[in-house]
Chain A
């Protein structure tokens, strides 16, 4: 059974002048537990929109999404927040760390929201920061970290509550080769170790090459992709 399932997803954005643009025109997707899916496609094809809908960060115009059998449309905003907190992890392209908080506090944040005792949240966050290779940078604020380190903190934050699905939107888009590879290794290892399903939107051939399955977003629909060899 698929852990994450989307059917007939549509998303239409409306402009202030009454015009509208259909970004997703009926997307179907099923992701299995522990599966690593890469979504590729041209800029503006709707990849990020799809990921945001899957992450319950925005609502679709039509269609359904279910996580572990729970339909998003059936959830109250409260329940949806709990779902984001406990079952989903999201890595943004621009990390979106809270700049006043240090690395450790940023990673602890989802656990504190969940009501975990601070001591337990701290030890879990320290553990994950060590896994992403930032044991020595825990007390540093985002501004004092490199781009790659910031992104690794964001990965640790997304994984800290042991989600069923990790969604990442061009996580290595702003990183150099070395840092990208570090991050890709991290994704592959963590997904395998934690049995977390991974849906990654990427332009990076190396990252897509590590996926179990590559899908292409074209004209608002998801299609099977022939493989990294066909990527530009």
Chain B
């Protein structure tokens, strides 16, 4: 088709929209309502799902796997210490992280105690030496400063994050020096009193994993760091466990089960949580599906009615020489304009509605639930609107364009 003819048919379509503002507005409104309802349901559903996941992640250990060296063994009910056991290093954390991929955060922890040098009297603090990945797991809140970085862990910087009790006792501010076991540590962060997920909460300090030896009193036997794996989603825990077992077999040999244990929450609780999530997703999926059908039918009806009532116009155009494809391009242009504008407005309105709905839920339930505006939601709404809009905006036109001009003109 010659570009000027294409442009001409397209222009006729756009002109037709402009010249009948009421029909254009009503058709667009149909698309807006259809898209908005779909977007609102999806965004509220996504928000509710992330709230549920957040609850599981922050109030349970369901998403946690521990790789623990076996420092002893129990025989006849009596625990016998083992002479040797694996001592996990930063390299182990890195290699396990690589084996698990982006589905998990891997960190290592070793705990101990340290004498704290304070003027006047001797005090002690619990010391937790962790890798930087622990920040994701601990989610600390700071009164001042920050967590230490991966670079500081790697280069064994003597930096520390102090608990509120320690900061008060030692009159610490960010930038001050804290002396643990006689070694100077620069304070980079002070936790907020409400950082309740960090245990212990008394006199405590967090230091980089790589400076554990200088921050803690020497132990009787080699320290036994634990590796902690935090799954991004509860559904992946089983997979991560299998991958971690494979990693352990490579790292410790075929008899690795004597050397270390991989601990998770009880399988029954995991199954329960997964079931809950699955039911939730299916219910939200059903809502979204219903909304999809209702929204799609709304768009379909509006366009079907708008185009069918124009059969006579199509006949007049055909009598004046319009070809089937001229008619199709005209109605395609109209449908694209209507579904395009309707989709954009519908997405905005739907997201606005979803945020309003979640605001009401928040104020009524005090649950921190927020609508989630994801690109998937926008994509689903756009695809539905475009497919339904183009199909039902052009199909009746095609049907009318196939009639003889006189039959189309006579159409009531």
Contacts and interface: CB of A to CB of B under 8 A. Distances in A.
Interface of A: 52, 55, 57-59, 77-78, 81-86, 90, 92, 96-98, 100-101, 105, 109-110, 112-118, 157, 161
Nearest to B2: A115
A112 B19 contact: no
Contacts of A105: 15, 19
B315 to A, nearest CB: 8
Interface stretch (B4-12, B38-46, B161-169): B4-12
A157 B322 CA distance: 14
25 contacts: A55-B319, A57-B319, A57-B409, A77-B323, A78-B324, A81-B323, A85-B321, A86-B321, A92-B409, A96-B312, A97-B316, A98-B313, A98-B316, A100-B20, A101-B15, A109-B317, A110-B320, A110-B321, A112-B11, A113-B8, A113-B9, A113-B322, A116-B8, A118-B11, A161-B321
Interface of B: 2, 4-5, 8-9, 11-12, 15-16, 19-20, 312-313, 316-324, 326, 404-407, 409
B231 to A, nearest CB: 60
Contacts of A58: 404-407
Main secondary structure of the interface of B (DSSP, over half): helix
A218 B316 CA distance: 29
Contact of A82 (B8, B12, B321, B405): B321
Nearest to A76: B323
B318 A81 contact: yes
Contact of B321 (A59, A84, A117): A84
Contacts of B20: 100
A215 B404 CA distance: 27
A57 B320 contact: no
A42 B313 CA distance: 29
Nearest to B316: A96
Given A58-B407, A96-B316, A98-B316, A112 B12 contact: yes
Contact of B404 (A59, A82, A116): A59
Given A57-B405, A77-B323, A96-B409, A113 B317 contact: yes
Contacts of B9: 113
Contacts of A117: 4
Contacts of A110: 320-321
B19 A114 contact: no
Contact of A57 (B5, B19, B317, B404): B404
Given A113-B8, A117-B4, A85 B405 contact: no
Given A57-B405, A58-B407, A157 B19 contact: no
Nearest to A114: B321
A226 to B, nearest CB: 31
B323 A78 contact: yes
Nearest to A115: B5
Given A110-B320, A113-B326, A157-B320, 18 more contacts: A52-B406, A57-B404, A57-B406, A57-B409, A58-B406, A58-B407, A82-B321, A82-B323, A84-B319, A84-B321, A101-B15, A105-B19, A109-B12, A110-B321, A112-B12, A113-B9, A115-B8, A161-B321
Contacts of B317: 98, 109, 113
Contacts of B407: 58
Contacts of B326: 81, 113
Contacts of A83: 321
Nearest to B21: A100
B11 to A, nearest CB: 7
Contacts of B16: 100
A106 to B, nearest CB: 9
